[in-house]
Amino acid sequence: MRGNPDMPDLEPRVEVCRTPVACGGVQLLAVADLFIGGAFVIRDIRIREASKDGAEALQVAFPSRRWNGEEKRCFDIAFPITTEAHRRATIAILQAFQDAEAKACQREMRV
């Protein structure tokens, strides 16, 4: 994905879940890796389907970990810092997800 010369190229790779996993009203559809500028990767980015105000929506969730100290909290591990970086990453990941899903459907139709 090209655009801003200050932003490195983003190359997402998506693995569509054969059987989506449901967890507390959120359904995991796929897991993605985001390669940045050919030099850095963020793994375990989740693509989920969640209900919001009665409408289904896709969400991109960057990796986080739970901490079970005095307060049970989650901490983001890797994430875009700027709004523009978040927008570009989300668009690239969701486009790769749609492409991977279309390819998976085509393979299933051939079988």
Sign for the pseudo-dihedral over CA of 26, 106, 32, 4:
negative
In a domain, 70, yes or no: yes
Number of domains in the chain: 1
49: CATH: 3.30.1120.40
- Which tokens hold the place of 102? 């279309």
Domain that holds residue 67: 10-110
pTM above 0.85, yes or no: no
Considering the domain boundaries, does residue 1 fall inside one?
no
Helices (H), 1-111: 83-110
Report if residue 4 sits inside a domain: no
Pair 11, 91: CB distance under 8 Å: no
pLDDT by 10s per residue, the chain, length 111: 455 667 778 888 887 776 666 656 678 888 999 999 888 899 999 998 877 777 778 899 999 888 776 677 888 889 999 999 999 999 999 999 999 888 877 766 665
Q: Would residue 2 count as lying in a domain? A: no
Residue for token pair 């190229």 = 9
- CA triple 107-93-21, angle to 5 deg: 65
Q: Does residue 65 lie within any of the structural domains?
A: yes
Q: What's the pLDDT tens digit per position in 41-70?
A: 999 999 988 777 777 788 999 998 887 766
